[in-house]
């Protein structure tokens, strides 16, 4: 294995030589894919679908308004707009534009895209607007008045950086500075927490509340606001990706660490209880709570008793810890939401969703079922402040998304919008199967295919996976792959491999750190199962993954090149011996291991795709994609992999966009172009 990296020069984002190399690679890729007769019609069809006004405009509800971010041909960068609930129910296009990002970009002569809008809960017309140049993670924050439709004079405005900024109240914000010149962690994230209080002349008062060491990962701060008006101010200090300490901020602005386990997440706060999800076992007050549990922990259980005489009878529940959801073999907790009076848990049960509600009765939380469908996947979409309403989406592979408004208190619900069908699903079937990993573990996966598919091993099949960071791969409506892949005779496969969160913390930890290769083995086992059951063959099998999923498919390609004929490797990690030196890489040491540690470096070296390219292997023509504005996973990973393949005599394709960042925050036209190129590539590799 080489000790020097001859392609390290491609990590430079300012080098004219590196840019010239990227331009040449892009030209080659565009010449091949854009000249295909299928590209232009595909791009046009996908763009028309993205701009279809019948698409569900998801919203956040604040006061009397529903707010939505919208892009179309006239507004490629997008507009922030609002409408009333009754108009939304009626399907009326009665939207008022309150902020035009295209106009702002033109006025400022900046490549602005909207990264997010944060409303002050009690004064929702005041918002923090987060703007990103070209889609990168670093943002500029400006305060905006939605009623005046103007920037606030001497408002809460902050420089570009990977900062964390959150409202405390309308006249103060928590600021964790991530801009140039601020103290940052090794991973490039904030390490200080400040309270910034408004002054009319813009000379706001800054009070430092907390500082973490440079060796930490990051800090964040926010305010919980309970329906009864109670507030709870909190700091989250992350030592690493999964290990953190929570600190309460008291009325004097002093901070107090909470004695929660390091690997626990606070999912919410309601009626004096913190909702805590455990990733490790926790022994507390003589009881043991298992990893994967959801607990309601009375805040008084974690803080000193304020009364000198201890608890009285009326405080019998003080110090209580209640188990709400126990872990189970095929179950995990996807998300938790709180309403005015209830908490709602979105469970993933055998890779399908199920909602549970809990209400507090005589000091204890009591479970009840909610009348929602449980045959697909639910995602929380919105929870209007000081209400018992939850809005959620529901879909599966073949069912278009529906947006529902549920009254948690009464169980009544309505369908607010239903997405139009992108294709006729009656000809297709979605089924869950299981492959057997090398250690005997059953690995679930989904196959979406034609009902009349002949199992002769000749079906073009695209397999998608992720397998990291406890992120679950769940069924979703394949609105673009339906008409442009399934209807052309292809099959789609979603693999639920270890490293993800489908079955809770243990499923994730089985492929964490030095056990990373377990996820690669699981993915390969699914591929082999597809072939063994006659769905496809290596000539017709392609794999796709992004970010950590890019690492997955890159590793599988160099391990088993004979098994695949297409590899779509998007915004990937590939050089696992230098990843901690590139952008946010150091924040993922918990997930992958530390190259500076000898034992962990050996484990990383054993699978690092960049270091395992061989001259005598027969690799498929792979497509690597990245963005020059990706300030999370460095573009150098994809660049160097393509250069390394070429150095050893193998052809590969690189597509590096000028904007979009890691999450693809770009105009719809760019999104349509990128998807059209991926589809053309897949047609050429798997169908032609």
Exposure string (b/e) for 217-234, b if CB count within 10 Å is 16 or more? bbbbbbbebeeeeeebbb
Q: Give CA–CA dist 529/526, Å, rounded.
A: 5
Task: Give how far the C-alpha of residue 97 lies from the chain's centroid of Cα atoms, to the nearest Å.
Answer: 28
Q: Cβ–Cβ contacts within 10 Å for residue 202, how many?
A: 12
Beta bridge partners of 264: 278
Q: Is 477 exposed, middle or buried (0-12, 13-18, 19+ CB in 10 A)?
A: buried
Beta bridge partners of 460: none
Phi, psi of 85 (to 5 degrees): -60, -45
What string of DSSP letters covers 313-363? GGGTTTT-EEEEE---TTEEEEEEEE-SSEEEEEEEESSSEEEEEEEEETT
User: H or E stretch including 589?
Assistant: helix 589-592
Closest to 494 in 3D by CA, of 452, 548, 533, 530: 530
Q: Give CA–CA dist 456/534, Å, rounded.
A: 5
User: H or E stretch including 680?
Assistant: helix 668-682
- Catalytic site residues? 547, 662
Phi, psi of 121 (to 5 degrees): -55, -50
462 contacts 685 by C-beta, under 8 angstroms: no
Q: Give CA–CA dist 660/664, Å, rounded.
A: 4
Q: Cβ–Cβ contacts within 10 Å for residue 501, how many?
A: 21
User: Largest alpha-carbon pair distance within the chain?
Assistant: 81
How many residues belong to the chain? 688
């Amino acid at each position: 294995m080489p000790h020097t990296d001859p392609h390290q020069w491609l990590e430079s984002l300012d080098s004219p030589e590196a840019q010239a190399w990227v331009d040449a690679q892009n030209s080659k890729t565009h010449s091949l894919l854009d000249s295909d007769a299928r590209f232009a019609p595909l791009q046009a069809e996908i763009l028309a679908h993205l701009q279809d006004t019948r698409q569900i405009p998801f919203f956040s509800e604040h006061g009397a308004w529903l707010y939505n971010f919208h892009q179309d041909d006239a507004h490629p960068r997008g507009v922030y707009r609002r409408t009333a609930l009754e108009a939304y129910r009626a399907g009326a296009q009665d939207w008022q534009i309150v902020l035009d990002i295209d106009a702002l970009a033109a006025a400022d002569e900046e490549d602005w895209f909207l990264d997010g809008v944060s409303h002050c809960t009690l004064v929702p017309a005041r918002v923090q607007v987060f703007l990103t140049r070209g889609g990168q993670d670093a943002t500029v924050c400006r305060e905006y008045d939605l009623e005046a439709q103007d920037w606030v004079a001497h408002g809460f405005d902050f420089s570009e950086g990977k900062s964390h900024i959150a409202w405390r109240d309308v006249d103060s914000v928590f600021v964790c500075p991530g801009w140039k010149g601020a103290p940052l962690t090794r991973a490039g994230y904030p390490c200080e927490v400040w309270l910034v209080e408004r002054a009319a002349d813009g000379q706001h008062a800054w009070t430092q509340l907390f500082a973490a060491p440079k060796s930490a990962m990051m800090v964040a701060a926010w305010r919980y606001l309970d329906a009864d008006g109670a507030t709870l101010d909190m700091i989250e200090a992350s030592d690493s990706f999964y290990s953190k300490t929570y600190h309460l901020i008291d009325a004097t602005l002093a901070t107090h660490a909470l004695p929660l386990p390091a690997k626990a997440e606070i999912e919410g706060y309601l009626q004096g209880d913190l909702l805590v999800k455990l990733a490790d076992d926790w022994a507390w007050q003589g009881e043991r709570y298992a990893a994967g549990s959801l607990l309601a922990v009375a805040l008084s259980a974690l803080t000193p008793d304020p009364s000198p005489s201890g608890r009285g009878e009326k405080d019998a529940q003080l110090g209580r810890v209640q188990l709400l959801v126990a872990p189970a073999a095929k179950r995990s907790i996807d998300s938790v939401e709180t309403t005015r009076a209830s908490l709602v848990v979105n469970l993933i049960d055998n890779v399908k969703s199920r909602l549970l509600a809990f209400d507090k009765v005589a000091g204890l939380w009591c479970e009840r079922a909610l009348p929602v469908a449980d045959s697909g996947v639910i995602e929380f979409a919105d929870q209007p402040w000081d209400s018992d309403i939850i809005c959620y989406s529901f879909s599966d592979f073949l069912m278009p998304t529906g947006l529902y408004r549920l009254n948690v208190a009464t169980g009544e619900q309505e369908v607010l919008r239903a997405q139009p069908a992108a294709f006729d699903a009656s000809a297709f079937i979605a089924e869950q199967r299981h492959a057997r990993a090398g250690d005997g573990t059953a690995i679930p996966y989904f196959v979406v295919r034609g009902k009349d598919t002949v199992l002769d091993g000749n079906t073009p099949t695209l397999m998608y996976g992720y397998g990291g960071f406890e992120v679950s791969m769940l069924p979703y409506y394949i609105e673009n792959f339906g008409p442009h892949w399934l209807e052309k005779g292809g099959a789609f496969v979603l693999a639920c491999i270890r490293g993800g969160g489908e079955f809770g913390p243990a499923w994730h930890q089985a492929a964490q750190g030095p056990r990373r290769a377990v996820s690669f083995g699981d993915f390969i086992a699914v591929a082999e199962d597809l072939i063994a059951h006659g769905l496809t063959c290596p000539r017709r099998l392609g794999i796709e993954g992004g970010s950590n999923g890019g690492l997955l498919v890159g590793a599988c390609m160099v391990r088993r090149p004979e098994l695949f004929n297409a590899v779509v490797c998007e915004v990937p990690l590939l050089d696992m011996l230098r990843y901690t030196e590139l952008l946010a890489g150091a924040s993922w040491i918990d997930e992958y291991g530390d190259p500076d540690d000898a034992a962990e470096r050996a484990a990383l070296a054993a699978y690092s795709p960049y270091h395992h390219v061989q001259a005598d292997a027969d690799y498929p023509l792979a497509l690597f994609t990245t963005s020059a504005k990706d300030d999370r996973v460095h573009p150098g990973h994809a660049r160097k992999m393509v250069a390394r393949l070429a150095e050893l005599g193998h052809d590969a394709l690189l597509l590096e966009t000028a904007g979009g960042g890691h999450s693809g925050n770009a105009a719809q036209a760019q999104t349509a172009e990128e998807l059209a190129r991926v589809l053309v590539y897949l047609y050429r590799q798997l169908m032609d």
